[in-house]
Chains A and B, each alone.
Chain A
């Protein structure tokens, strides 16, 4: 009995995730996401073929064996870390745009009433859609980051597995932004507004992260507190990018714990709010 219930539960999750994939594919989001990622991979391949870059790589390689004026390993690691930042920004922006419509579309009248008539909870429905979104973007992140890793590895002969940490890190920050996309989608049913809010969060996070400079410039304690308060509430997209760069560079002082837990807390709070509102809404 329990086994059959589990099977039925699994089939519900699988159906919801696979439906998100099919919708992303049909709306060309899937192909768009992978197409643009492939474009970046192509640009990267092209850049590595430019004489200056190729020369620099050869130069570093030759010099490192004879006269180590520069550590080739360090050079490649620095390159990896900067590339990871580019991929982080590129991947997160694309992912937010690609997933913005996937929640509002499921809330369309005539579609949602049939979904709600099935023996599943509203929480399962929303979380299934959330998981489907994550899976689509996760696949794209794996494709993009692994491709770049393979290209750099083949080009330099140096394989830095830490670069692959960009996949879970980028996916984590995307999942936090996705929570906001879901909340706005559930409230407004607007894909455009969902994108606006997610992009605004990314930009605000960059501004708020300059807290050490701004706090010195602010003249009152309450305005400093307000700035810091917002800093701690808003997901730390910028800080997390910086932390990712440091982690890839083997920097033991990389500050990733506080950006991680505060961003996770933001995501959990916002997603709980989305679930609460979704459960109470009439369709």
Chain B
């Protein structure tokens, strides 16, 4: 059966306990996120929001305390679930004793690729990321930007269906950033889902279609970027909205800001605002406010994280 979501989590939670004092820190709390297949999805959040913990739970480097995560409908804890995933970690430490080609070969062998296929693909990708002449050079000679590009090649080696990139342009110069964006843009339309974890709002705003903002370990906002930014939009506040209706509205493309007092729904056009209001009322929700807005992703981010802070 074809999965609807590349990534789907349900009430995912991670609590770290200190070994001796028994103190608890909730790194990720009750997180439910859905990333549709084939989209470009950005995960934002201030430092310590739980973004990397969330990604590591998806890729089984961190064991969740509770909740579930699936990748293309398969339990993320199963090794086979990770076969279609290409991953570029943040602060990676590739083995410096390997050459560029050797590194690509090693990681793709772990992904189950055959030798002949690995050799062909490594040559292609080294050329794609501009490291054609560096394939036989040991990684310890590479600059930070070159390592990042090599890391991207590594993530693309086995032609993944889901690409998870943690701070992909970290340490890369502007030209390198443009090149990385170009490579990722070329994947658009190929059905590859791109999941970017970044603190660079402009990068996410210019590249991604969907965004989720994490704050203090929980989901502060999730939705389509086009309905959050880019000219005028409308924000509707409502109370008493059932979960099914929330899900239906999310599917229609609205962004949802869950709140303690009331839930807010951000849409891009007047028509969408009216449709959303109709849906909310039909589901038994009470409209509390409707306001016109004109925001950038930075405004949304600051508003979301600062209101959370105040709460």
A-side residues, CB < 8 A to B, are 7-8, 11-12, 14-16, 18-19, 22-23, 25-27, 108-121, 280, 282-283
Measured between beta carbons, the chain B residues less than 8 angstroms from A111 are 92-95
Measured between beta carbons, the chain A residues less than 8 angstroms from B59 are 113, 116-117
B62-A110 in contact (CB<8A): no
From A11, A22, A109, A118, B97 is in contact (CB under 8 Å) with: A22
A27-B97 in contact (CB<8A): yes
Measured between beta carbons, the chain A residues less than 8 angstroms from B154 are 114
- Determine how close the nearest CB of chain A comes to the CB of B92; give it in whole angstroms: 5
> A22 and B114 in contact (CB under 8 A), knowing A12-B109, A111-B95?
no
- Docked pose: A283 CA to B35 CA in angstroms: 24
- Determine how close the nearest CB of chain A comes to the CB of B172; give it in whole angstroms: 17
From B97, B113, B115, A25 is in contact (CB under 8 Å) with: B97
A11-B112 in contact (CB<8A): yes
A119-B113 in contact (CB<8A): no
A109-B93 in contact (CB<8A): yes
> A15 and B110 in contact (CB under 8 A), knowing A113-B61, A117-B82?
yes
- Docked pose: A201 CA to B183 CA in angstroms: 54
B-side residues, CB < 8 A to A, are 16, 56, 59-63, 79-83, 85, 87, 89-98, 102, 105-107, 109-115, 154, 164
Measured between beta carbons, the chain B residues less than 8 angstroms from A121 are 79
A22-B98 in contact (CB<8A): yes
- 9 example contacts (A-B, Cβ-Cβ < 8 A) are as follows A11-B114, A12-B110, A15-B106, A19-B95, A19-B106, A113-B59, A119-B82, A282-B62, A283-B56
A280-B109 in contact (CB<8A): no
Q: How many A-B residue pairs have CB under 8 A?
A: 92
> A113 and B89 in contact (CB under 8 A), knowing A121-B79, A283-B61?
yes
Measured between beta carbons, the chain B residues less than 8 angstroms from A109 are 91, 93
- Determine how close the nearest CB of chain B comes to the CB of A23; give it in whole angstroms: 6
From A15, A19, A27, A114, B89 is in contact (CB under 8 Å) with: A114
Closest 7 CB pairs of A and B: A26-B97, A8-B112, A15-B109, A110-B93, A118-B110, A119-B83, A117-B87
B112-A119 in contact (CB<8A): yes
- Determine how close the nearest CB of chain B comes to the CB of A76; give it in whole angstroms: 43
- Determine how close the nearest CB of chain B comes to the CB of A100; give it in whole angstroms: 17
- Docked pose: A11 CA to B113 CA in angstroms: 8
B92-A110 in contact (CB<8A): yes
- Determine how close the nearest CB of chain A comes to the CB of B182; give it in whole angstroms: 24
Measured between beta carbons, the chain B residues less than 8 angstroms from A112 are 61
Chain B residue nearest in CB terms to A11 = B109
Measured between beta carbons, the chain B residues less than 8 angstroms from A8 are 112-114
B61-A117 in contact (CB<8A): yes
Chain B residue nearest in CB terms to A14 = B109
Measured between beta carbons, the chain A residues less than 8 angstroms from B90 are 110
- Docked pose: A18 CA to B115 CA in angstroms: 14
